[in-house]
Amino acid sequence: MTGDKNINKIEFAKNKDAVDPLAQYRNEFYIGDKIYLDGNSLGLLSKRAEQSLMKVFHSWKEYGIDGWMKGDYPWFDLSQQLGKQLAPLVGAYESEVIVTGSTTVNIHQLISTFYKPTTSRNKILADDATFPSDIYALKSQIQLKSYHPKDALIQVKSKDGILYEDEIIEHMTDDISLIFLPSVLYRSGQILDIERLTQEAHKRGIQIGFDLCHSIGAVPHDLHKWDVDFAVWCNYKHINGGPGAVAGLYVNQKYFGKTPGIAGWFSSRKEIQFDMNHNLEAAVDAGAYEIGTPHVLSMAPLIGALEIFNEVGINNIRKKSLELTNYFIELIELELSQYKFKIVSPIEEEKRGAHILLEHEQSASICKALKSHGIIPDFRAPNFIRLGPVALYNSFYDIWKTVNVLKKIMEEEQYKNFDNTREIIA
């Protein structure tokens, strides 16, 4: 935290922006006249992502089916090429990462691969604060193995939006077959200690995987060094790959050669794929976990988006992200304490991801009021406001203005002009 007595002055924010080494990247994005604080749900379009999409689109126009092997970005191995660009963001070898599927499809793929229940070990350990899709997939996989979720799914309970690693470890009992947890909780923004949890799981002979959807592109990872077994993530939040962007997955190289739980044509070794053999010879890397033909046009923006990340570096992104959220917290505590806002996110930097969660009984109507001022937040039921500044395109002025607009909304009770109910898409 800064401790600067002038922190609530506009000059403070502008001075921070003037010396921000990442400030130039704001011009890479289509922001318009709004303050966009929902990048942890859907990142903004960058000019480079737009350009790479159009190049791939043009290759379809120019080459037709030959686009699989021709053009600036041949489609046939594009999943592998993008996996190489993503690998530094998760701390993995290039061969351990592939761009494929969606988050939920990849959860099904990897749980079906790693969940091998026995009579004595048949339970999956998860938590009650993770994103619903993860739980839907886990329950589905448990049922496919002829078990009942009531018996075989164990969910560690969160307390005030926070999970405690000690309690998770206490639940790593002899009947646990597999563990699947979020890296960052989508509501509170809490970071779990992936390294510690992985070590404790392996001490007990349990394999463990993580959902990185709310940390990828905002928080550094070292999955291979930590010996994480597998992970999945989406690429449309902090990565800015666009709505419906093809997702990603990681599988530790020690499992190369393992038969994928869900096999498909693109699981094959690339050099023999077009032999059309009915006996699958799966790729001996993360490519084994591809299933069907890749969604090329939904991968194309990632080419440009990831170019920016590898130019800036994830550690520089994390540094600015923490500065932005620290600034947010200090201003909220200074300017909004009398309006009954509660900061749910961890205050400690090492425990906080890239967004701030505020609790308020009028959260839905406050979000609508913010939108009326051109500030885009994110509402989460039942009474939470998520504010997700993105290091590549949000400024310190954005933070200063948001808090001052929030103060005006509360002082003038502008939120009373809006229903305190969520919109269909919150």
Gap between the Cα atoms of 97 and 411, Å rounded: 50
Q: What is the pLDDT of residues 35-47, one digit of tens each?
A: 999 999 999 999 9
Q: Is 132 annotated as a binding residue?
A: yes
136-164: average pLDDT = 97
pLDDT for 10 beyond 90: yes
Which residues lie below 8 Å from residue 69, measured CB to CB, with a gap of 6+? 76
Q: Is 211 annotated as a binding residue?
A: yes
pLDDT score recorded for residue 3: 62
Q: What is the pTM of this model?
A: 0.96
Average confidence score pLDDT of the chain: 96
Q: Is 265 annotated as a binding residue?
A: yes
Q: What is the CATH number of domain 10-30+313-417?
A: 3.90.1150.10
pLDDT score recorded for residue 391: 98
Gap between the Cα atoms of 94 and 223, Å rounded: 12
Q: How confident is residue 5, by pLDDT bands cut at 50, 70 and 90?
A: confident
Q: What is the pLDDT of residues 296-351, one digit of tens each?
A: 999 999 999 999 999 999 999 999 999 999 999 999 999 999 999 999 999 999 99
Q: CATH topology for 50-311?
A: Aspartate Aminotransferase; domain 2 (3.40.640)
Q: How confident is residue 1, by pLDDT bands cut at 50, 70 and 90?
A: low
Q: Is the peptide bond before 132 cis (omega within 30 degrees of 0)?
A: no
Gap between the Cα atoms of 217 and 315, Å rounded: 10
Q: What percent of the chain has pLDDT over 70?
A: 99
Of 347, 313, 314, the residue nearest 332 (C-alpha): 347
Q: What is the pLDDT of residues 356-398, one digit of tens each?
A: 999 999 999 999 999 999 999 999 999 999 999 999 999 999 9
pLDDT for 34 beyond 80: yes
Sheet with 153-156, side-by-side order of all strands: 97-99, 248-251, 230-233, 207-211, 176-182, 123-127, 153-156
Cβ-contact 346, 212 below 8 angstroms: no
Q: Is 134 annotated as a binding residue?
A: yes
Q: What is the pLDDT of residues 261-293, one digit of tens each?
A: 999 999 999 899 989 999 999 999 999 999 999
Q: Is 77 annotated as a binding residue?
A: no
**How much is the CA Rg of the chain, to the nearest whole Å?**
22
Cβ-contact 360, 341 below 8 angstroms: yes
Q: Output the DSSP codes for 298-346.
A: HHHHHHHHHHHHHHH-HHHHHHHHHHHHHHHHHHHHHHSGGGT-EE-S-
Cβ-contact 208, 198 below 8 angstroms: yes
Q: Is 293 annotated as a binding residue?
A: yes
pLDDT score recorded for residue 424: 82
Of 389, 49, 59, 394, the residue nearest 235 (C-alpha): 49
CA 92 to chain CA mean position, Å: 16
Q: Is 360 annotated as a binding residue?
A: no
Gap between the Cα atoms of 175 and 331, Å rounded: 47
pLDDT score recorded for residue 375: 98
pLDDT for 423 beyond 90: no
Query: What residues does each domain of the chain span?
Result: 10-30+313-417, 50-311
Which residues lie below 8 Å from residue 206, measured CB to CB, with a gap of 6+? 125, 172, 176, 177, 178, 179
pLDDT score recorded for residue 2: 57
Q: What is the pLDDT of residues 45-56, one digit of tens each?
A: 999 999 999 999
Q: Output the DSSP codes for 64-104.
A: GGGGGT-SSS-STTHHHHHHHHHHHHHT--GGGEEE-S-HH
pLDDT for 148 beyond 90: yes
Q: What is the pLDDT of residues 201-251, one digit of tens each?
A: 999 999 999 999 999 999 999 999 999 999 999 999 999 999 999 999 999
Q: How confident is residue 6, by pLDDT bands cut at 50, 70 and 90?
A: confident
Q: Is 180 annotated as a binding residue?
A: no
Q: Is 104 annotated as a binding residue?
A: yes
